[in-house]
Amino acid sequence: MAYNDFDKPHFFLNSNATSKAFTSPSGGGGAPKTIPKQDRPTHSAKLREDLATISTKLETLKREASDIALTMGIGIQAEFESFPDVDMAVESLANAIHGIELHNVKTVNKDDQLIEIATVFIPDGKLYSFEQKIVDYLNEKKNKNGEPLDNQKLLDSIRSIRTAAFSAIWSDDDSFLPEDKDKLVWWEVWVSTPRKSKESNNHYQAIISDFTLIANEVEVTVSQHKLRFPEHTIVQVKASQNQLTNNTLLLSRIAEIRAPKITAEFFDSASSEEQEQWSEDLLKRLYQPNTGDEPYVCIIDSGVNVEHPLLSPFANLSDQLTITDDDDPTDNLGHGTEMAGLAMWGDLTDVLGLTQIEVINHKLESVKTLNYSGDNKEKPLGIITSNAISEVEYNNPERSRVYSMSLSSGTGTNFGRPSSWSSALDSLSVDFLGEGAIPRLFTISAGNARITSMMDYPEYNFLQDIHDPAQAWNAITVGAYTKKVTLSESSDSRPLAPLGGLSPYSTTSLIWDRKNSPIKPEIVFEGGNMGKDALGCAGMNDLHLQTTYRDFSTRHFQCSHGTSAATALAARFTAQVKCKYPKLWPETIRALTVHSADWTDEMYSLASVKRTDKSTKKSDISNLLRIVGFGVPNLEKALNSASNSLSLVIQDELQPFIKTKGSELKTKDMHLHELPWPKEILQSLGGTNVELTITLSYFVEPNPSSRNILNKYSYASHQLRFDVKRPVESGADFQKRINKANRADKDDKPNSTEDSNWYIGIDNRHRGSIHKDIWRGSAVELSERGKIAIYPASGWWKTRQSHQRFNSKARYSLIISLSVPDVDVDIYTEIASKIAAMTTTPAAINIDT
């Protein structure tokens, strides 16, 4: 028996979890920073003077707006600035009852000191709320029990209050500002449209109508295209920076201003000799099962010319769609056709000239989103993507598909912060507007490094920020590595990147804010290499991939490279998994893809470690994740198990939160999975080295804003965590350790045990909405790890009650793999027997093939 042959289907367990009431045992947050006490009389006088100035400005605004028929009334936006290196209690600035909204929070560096700036919208007549806070502060107000009600923590942290300026509302890097402040340009404007408990759509329409009326009054053009999120609506406006700066009335309605993202990330194609005969030979070797339920790879790009001989077997002319103004679905730019070839065939370099049969059971469709870079200046790119999805699904609603988008803004992500485009992708993935009816799987490109002839590889790539919208939590972001190291061209060049190393074209997330950003990219695929000689670096045909050319009347093939090419290969991979298991959720396809990935030996060196190191630092692995994600996916392992290396797949849902009597919101459910563990076999193996790999995947509903640094204003609707019973831990202590609700009282705490064998570690793995970790140890220790808990962490479903999402359920996919790589042992059959014994129904193993 070949124990390490991956020729067996995975185990698909029906929902086998026991649901438990859950309370987090963690206090969280750490020790608060000390806020220096101010002299109350002096400080309160200063703040009251600031409020008086704002009140005068508000009266001016009311006179300016007297001729505008506004529905929602007048208000003003105030800018609260903290003392240096002090955390301002910004959440205390909002007051829903009075309609006072916290719009924006940002930290700036002034003279090597960190200053916090919060912008707050204050309706007319509500300034007294802040005035009363100051009075209570000055009088050191206390309640009847002598406890302070004086707002000291908040007011002692505020250095000044003033009318909000453009600089406070601007949320992007200053490098994106136009050099000419009088030049008319398009801006991305975030208008606060918070949902109230019993709000009708008229409330939202009134806010947008008022904003448009004010903009028209000051001759600012407002695009008709709007992108709505739970608490913001994003529109694009055409104005000069000075126009925005000098219109306080308009600024009062704006939560944030950001630079609009214009697609520019297309890649030059290297020419190659026409090889018509190669195409004909390859087509003779093509076998299509055509079962009738094949998944489609939908290319969101510049169109696809599906009449190309190597693409026509997978698509008809009716599969070419477009949302461009000219209604022409064909690809004049060439990028979409380039991606299609890779998505269907993979790298043609690997298949041309062979003799074996090529089995392809997925198909192709295309939606053209643009003709050239910059033809979408009035539309948020999230709207363009959403319209593309609507076009595809309206025309063929019954199809199963995965989406591939190798477009990016060509600019970074501001340290991983969500944008309107990335948030739109997250919304489309989870199908927020459709209440989760049609969740979607996206593969998107990380974006290419800005190549220079003298780049210092790979350190140069470490500083190249992944491009917007690849920070999306729910999409699979694809970076690039390379195995292209063979040069046939006669030159003095050598490959720049080593075999299995980071592609020189790939970007990374090493410079991101790791506390608030997901791990990106999640995976890497082949993206090509560069050549290097005494004069510098350059792309070379030998080191690139080969794919289809848009105009097959002149030549059939062209070269391709970068994270675009890698993304098309990733889409092909996910389509192949979907072919094998057509009924799996998008979250599960994503989980299997990431779960199967591993790092090459060369990738370990990027973090200055080796695969065989026994004491690798968690910080080194954290850096490795930010460079190449979880590595290169393995199709064989994603599709199948082996006798000594198997995977259990679980799809389930739980309710993270609940609203109890009154207004209290708290966590609700934890799932405890009792697994069919081959305990006896593992114990018999004693000290043999084994691996346990766990991947948890789920989609979040996004709520983007610059307030997402605060727990109350979380970007994610919810988050989930996993934990595993430790070897010497009892089942009762395991539940007590992770679940306060299992403790009889505050003194009923579990016995402390160590668990240092996790490779990534709990501090690193719980980022974003897909979590993976690897436990390595002895077989006898693994034998005691047959219990896994899934439990909720916080999110805006819990903290933003007005949205009434606290009773929502969250789907999740859980993959658990056991591997005994160095021993010929059949644990697969043992687990199959245990699963059969777990149920009285015949369908103990539910496998979709």
Provide mean pLDDT across the span 415-437. Answer: 92
pLDDT interval class at 186 (50, 70, 90) = confident
Q: Residue 621 and residue 715: Cα distance in Å, rounded? A: 25
Question: Rounded to the nearest 10 degrees, how much is the dihedral formed by the CA atoms of 363, 368, 372, 373?
Answer: -90
User: Residue 264: is its pLDDT beyond 70?
Assistant: no
pLDDT of residue 741: 76
pLDDT of residue 267: 25
Neighbours of 195 (CB within 10 A): 15
Half-sphere exposure of 606 (CA within 13 A, CB side): 32
pLDDT of residue 753: 66
DSSP letter string over 191-254? EE-PPPTT--HHHHHHHHHHHHHHHHHTT-EE-S--EE-SSEEEEEEEE-HHHHHT-HHHHTTE
pLDDT interval class at 838 (50, 70, 90) = confident
Give residue-wise pLDDT tens across range 504-515.
Answer: 999 999 999 888
pLDDT interval class at 119 (50, 70, 90) = very high
pLDDT of residue 46: 96
Q: Residue 133 and residue 151: Cα distance in Å, rounded? A: 6
| Contact assessment for residue 428 and residue 440, using Cβ atoms and an 8 Å cutoff | yes
pLDDT of residue 516: 82
pLDDT of residue 246: 92
pLDDT of residue 127: 93
**Which amino acid would we find at residue 448?**
N
pLDDT of residue 329: 96
User: Residue 815: is its pLDDT beyond 90?
Assistant: yes
Q: Is the peptide bond before 676 cis (omega within 30 degrees of 0)?
A: no
Provide mean pLDDT across the span 229-241. Answer: 90
Give residue-wise pLDDT tens across range 633-691.
Answer: 999 999 999 999 999 999 999 999 998 876 678 899 999 999 999 999 999 999 899 99
From the number of C-beta atoms within 10 Å of its C-beta (0-12, 13-18, 19+), residue 37 rates as exposed
pLDDT interval class at 374 (50, 70, 90) = low
pLDDT interval class at 699 (50, 70, 90) = very high
Provide mean pLDDT across the span 326-355. Answer: 92
Neighbours of 684 (CB within 10 A): 13
| Contact assessment for residue 588 and residue 649, using Cβ atoms and an 8 Å cutoff | yes
Phi then psi for 718, rounded to 5 degrees?
Answer: -165, 165
DSSP letter string over 511-541? TS-TTTS--S-SEEEE---EEEETTEEEE-G
CA 635 to chain centre: 23
User: Residue 622: is its pLDDT beyond 50?
Assistant: yes
pLDDT of residue 821: 82
Q: Residue 276 and residue 553: Cα distance in Å, rounded? A: 10
Q: Residue 540 and residue 270: Cα distance in Å, rounded? A: 8
Half-sphere exposure of 99 (CA within 13 A, CB side): 15
pLDDT of residue 671: 95
More confident residue, 290 or 569: 569
pLDDT of residue 515: 83
| Contact assessment for residue 563 and residue 527, using Cβ atoms and an 8 Å cutoff | yes
Provide mean pLDDT across the span 287-292. Answer: 89
pLDDT of residue 306: 97
% of the chain exceeding 90 in pLDDT = 59
From the number of C-beta atoms within 10 Å of its C-beta (0-12, 13-18, 19+), residue 343 rates as buried
Give residue-wise pLDDT tens across range 394-417.
Answer: 999 999 999 999 988 877 788 889
Provide mean pLDDT across the span 808-817. Answer: 96
User: Residue 221: is its pLDDT beyond 70?
Assistant: yes
| Among 109, 106, 370, CA closest to 261 | 370
Give residue-wise pLDDT tens across range 451-501.
Answer: 887 789 999 999 999 999 999 999 999 999 999 998 876 678 899 999 999
Neighbours of 745 (CB within 10 A): 6
User: Residue 845: is its pLDDT beyond 50?
Assistant: no
User: Residue 800: is its pLDDT beyond 70?
Assistant: yes
pLDDT of residue 840: 43
User: Residue 102: is its pLDDT beyond 70?
Assistant: yes
% of the chain exceeding 70 in pLDDT = 92
Determine the 3-state secondary structure of 63 from DSSP.
helix
pLDDT of residue 313: 97
Task: Look at the block and give the residue holding tokens 């319209």.
Answer: 387
pLDDT of residue 849: 32
More confident residue, 840 or 257: 257
User: Residue 163: is its pLDDT beyond 50?
Assistant: yes
Provide mean pLDDT across the span 278-297. Answer: 91
DSSP letter string over 644-697? TEEEEEEEEEE--EEE-STT-EEE-EEEEEE----HHHHHHTTT-EEEEEEEEE
Give residue-wise pLDDT tens across range 516-556.
Answer: 899 999 999 999 999 998 888 888 888 999 999 999 989 89
Q: State the helix-helix crossing angle for 40-64 and 128-138, rounded to 10 degrees.
A: 170
User: Residue 562: is its pLDDT beyond 80?
Assistant: yes
Task: Look at the block and give the residue holding tokens 């969740």.
Answer: 439
Mean pLDDT of the chain: 88
User: Residue 169: is its pLDDT beyond 50?
Assistant: yes
pLDDT of residue 275: 63
